[in-house]
Chain A
Amino acid sequence: MTTLPGTRRLLTTWALLMALTVLSMVSARLDADDWQALPLWSAGLVIAATGFKAQRLLMVYLNLRAATPAWKGAFVGLVLLTLTLIAGGYLAARLS
């Protein structure tokens, strides 16, 4: 059994994940009356918040912080690769 994150860390992470989700929703301008393409900075903020959420979920909820740096790097790298795909597809469509 590895060292678990502990209740305090879990609650802090949960609060952070909730805040980042709300930040994503605000960045995506869900309050706007009419549908419009996001400014690039908003899209960047959405992607950055998503990446940070995924990293926190891996490290704390899934307790990957107890693994070796190589495994941490592999999983975070895969998340970054996925986000690059998402961001790349979005940008290519936006700029085409």
Chain B
Amino acid sequence: MSSVATETAVTIQVDGQEVAVPEGATILDACDAAGVETPTICYGPTLTPVNVCRVCVVELDGSRALVPSCSRPAEEGMVVHTDSERVRHSRKMVLEFLATGVDVSQADELGQWADHYGADPDRYVPGGQTMDEPVRVQDNLYIRDYDKCVLCYRCVEACGDDAQHTYAISVAGRGFGARISTEFDVTLHDSACVYCGNCVAVCPTNALQFKTEFDLRQADDWRPEDQTVTQTVCSYCGVGCNLELHVQDNQIVKCTSPDDHDVTKGNLCIKGRFGWNYV
């Protein structure tokens, strides 16, 4: 007898609310299903969790330590607390630590959560301290500003196993000196980079920025509130990648791709990502 496999549902409790999710779903998925918003940094819907930022942690009954909701699978009967004192305190401190060593001024989502939890990085390092590195502008496609990098690994994952399989970048150095780097810190041009920009697309802090956005910000003319986003289809090759064209003043200023489209899963190649400027 042929039958369609029914997805086994798993029921867990999030902040007192029963919620059913398919087997294999994470606690984060359950929080989403319950309508509970969760801060994330290293998590991306198209990326394998690397569990480095710890900002999505929740309290799980029976577990000694807080657990990362983005990677912990939901199991039947779990009781999860996302807004306990312990969770709030932990998330606040993660956000504070990040902001003491990194310029998070363009990490909008992080900033909103920092406000939400009352994070105050100045109580550790007044004014904060960054590596104070110059912005790397090596071509006309994208820039790297590692003072804004929180080492979330999303770019490394997107460049590597999760999408592009180019492996142009990884984490080099230790402690405060740790940073994302090409091999031996060579320029992008001398590295394995193929300029797909999939790293830029997943960066949560604007450490990686399209050159068009960087230039407009330098000119103090980057106005997201005046931008429209239109979904269309790339004109190069026959794959049918969906593009999101970000337009300001009737000019395309940025090109992204929807995470939830089967064809691209948020990814593009150099042509689709950057080849629009004749329009």
A associates with B: no
User: Which residues of B line the A interface, CB within 8 A?
Assistant: none
